[in-house]
Amino acid sequence: MLSEAERHVMAHAVGDGAVRSGRYRNVFVAREGHRDWATLQALCARGLMRVSRGPGGFHGDATCFAVTEEGYKALDEVSR
């Protein structure tokens, strides 16, 4: 089961709600201290998201997170 905050973060990562055609990306970029940082960390601990690129790359000191296959399944369950 996903909390509303978890659902919101994961939906943002995959682009749900941004376009009518649905998911078109799989990234959530955030820096430590971001308002969703704790939610992102909790989702990673549950295996629903993962770090796809650590700090120091294209996004400077930000971390890129991606929804995992298990995360997509959880999103699909709450979308029904």
Strand order in the sheet with 28-30: 28-30, 63-67, 49-53
Global pTM value:
0.85
Give per-residue pLDDT as tens, 38-52.
999 999 999 999 998
Residue at 28: amino acid letter: F
Which pLDDT value is given to residue 15?
87
**CA dihedral of residues 78, 34, 14, 69 (deg, nearest 10):** -70
Domain ranges of the chain: 4-79
Mean pLDDT of 45-73: 86
Q: What is the CATH number of domain 4-79?
A: 1.10.10.10
